[in-house]
Structure 1
Amino acid sequence: MSGASSLEGRVILVAGAAGGLGSAATVACAQAGATVVLLGRKVAPLNRVYDAARAVGPEPVLYPLDLEGASPDDFDELGQRIEADLGRLDGLLHCAAEFKGLTPLQHTDPADFARALHVDLTARWWLTQACLPLLAKSDAGAVVFAIDDPARNGSPAFWGGYGLAQAAQVTLVPMLQAELGEHGPRVSGLRPGPMRTGLRGKAFQPNTDLKAKPASAYAAACVELLSAAGAAQRGRIVDVLA
């Protein structure tokens, strides 16, 4: 996919903006002209991404929120704040993730299992649901789910609730698009190759993980799917190998 797509004048919400892919995509979206709303749990990392995005594009907006503890009402309030303060929302990029490390299912702590399913699936859907009315008002509204593929790493074993949430999103993308129809907001999934991020570092030793690429290698693909150029990928899961 090419990275030449424009987001000039668009408002893009990035969930997990302080993470590996989230931070790289935030800067790329700002560079493409978007006003980016940075959603994340910790203020200090968000501030660093804010500074990087502001240096290359329009001034971003900070919105600290812990997805694990947020309720549907909290997400509805977020949507209302974006509309009141910015007047529009053109794209939503899901990069927030929860992963404790490789563990056999039978030995997984029940709370860790539930937390991974919630942050990696339920909270993503609640946020999407809250944003759909605003996205429907845009002439190019788009939702992009960043989806991991544990099986690509050689085995689907030991990925627990995180792995199950990834599989569920592969089903969610075409299901939601079929319900929204061809004239509703676009829904797609971005399945990048191995990325050198903190999350991946919990499963692989960095000094032996030779296949992993910097998260910035996939940022242009995020921009393209969020832009009007991503219309060709409506309802699809897009595999991107840097």
Structure 2
Amino acid sequence: MSGSAAAAAPGHALDGRVVMVTGAHGGLGAAAAHACASAGATVVLLGRKIPKLNRVYDAIVRDPSGLPEPVNYPFDLSGAEYGDYMELAGRIGAQLGRLDGILHCAAEFPGLTPLEHTDPGHFARALHVDLTARWWLTQACLPLLRGSPDAAVVFVLDDDVPAAYRGAYGIAQHGQRALLDTLHAEHASGTVRFQGLRPGPMRTPLRARAHVSDDDRRARDPAVAAEACVVLLSSAGAAHRGLVLDPAP
């Protein structure tokens, strides 16, 4: 099932909450991290590219609105073992005392290639980052999330994926939807809700690998989807439990 975007969440919709954003230095990740901080959240910035991660951190810290200071956590989803994910959850619990939400923005898409000619290592890496790592991180953090009275796990989904040439990235999109539906069915009565966001075409480096930017008139600024991320991570997101949200056009 899918839902249309609700009205924007209030300006302090995430006050007091701790939210983790994966791929926080990417197009949507950076926009969503800043939007969450602007809504009052302490944001855990997760990513493997430290200089880019630092730039997102600096932008939030230097915001004239006086936003909560985020936490940088350099982390390579593709190279980390499951024990590293457990250690990550433990450190967040020890340092911040809580976790109220995870926004899965990190993605791996090397570019358009016929599946027959895809390098096996590239295929395995993309499938892991785009699907398995999202579950490993969620599983490791579930005990911490259960300590929140209103926790949300949001999977960013790309439904604008033709069947051809998207390789493991395209295949993982179907797997993520199945993962979302399974988790919702198994936790429908719990304190942790699972939901998805279908942001639509965005002007990001990932999309540029598959589209010529000059002709990509459908793509929008990631800030549009970032506001929908705040809605889903806030108490207003409970109305979309188990659903995939489409931001307003």
> Among 4, 9, 17, which residue is 2:9 paired with?
4
Moved runs in structure 1, 4+ residues, more than 4 A? none
The equivalences for 1:62-211 within 5 A come to 62-151=72-161, 155-211=162-218
Question: Secondary structure of the equivalent of 1:187?
Answer: strand
Distance in 1, Cα, partners of 2:245 & 2:210: 23
Question: Secondary structure of the equivalent of 2:73?
Answer: strand
Shift of 1:156: 2.3
Distance in 1, Cα, partners of 2:135 & 2:106: 12
Distance in 1, Cα, partners of 2:48 & 2:7: 31
Q: Deviations over 1:14-33 (max 9, x none)?
A: 01100000000000000000
Shift of 1:235: 1.1
In the comparison of the two structures, how many residue pairs are matched? 239
Distance in 2, Cα, partners of 1:41 & 1:218: 22
Unmatched 5+ stretches in structure 2: 1-5
Does structure 2 conserve the Cα–Cα contact (< 8 Å) formed by 1:150 and 1:163? no
Q: Deviations over 1:178-209 (max 9, x none)?
A: 11122230100101110000000000011111
Give me the TM-score of the superposition, normalised by structure 1. 0.96
Distance in 2, Cα, partners of 1:178 & 1:134: 20
Question: Secondary structure of the equivalent of 1:132?
Answer: helix
Distance in 2, Cα, partners of 1:223 & 1:68: 26
Question: Secondary structure of the equivalent of 2:238?
Answer: helix
| Amino acid paired to 1:205 | V
| Amino acid paired to 2:150 | A
Give me the TM-score of the superposition, normalised by structure 2. 0.93
> Among 63, 68, 73, which residue is 1:58 paired with?
68
Shift of 1:241: 4.8
Distance in 1, Cα, partners of 2:173 & 2:248: 18
Could you say which residue in structure 2 is the equivalent of 1:214? 221
Distance in 2, Cα, partners of 1:34 & 1:8: 5
Shift of 1:240: 2.4
> Among 7, 17, 29, which residue is 1:22 paired with?
29
Distance in 2, Cα, partners of 1:241 & 1:70: 36
Distance in 1, Cα, partners of 2:15 & 2:74: 24
Question: Secondary structure of the equivalent of 2:214?
Answer: coil
Distance in 2, Cα, partners of 1:213 & 1:156: 22
Question: Secondary structure of the equivalent of 2:213?
Answer: coil
Distance in 2, Cα, partners of 1:137 & 1:108: 42
Distance in 1, Cα, partners of 2:80 & 2:8: 33
Shift of 1:163: 0.4
Could you say which residue in structure 2 is the equivalent of 1:226? 233
Question: Secondary structure of the equivalent of 1:192?
Answer: coil
| Amino acid paired to 2:57 | Y
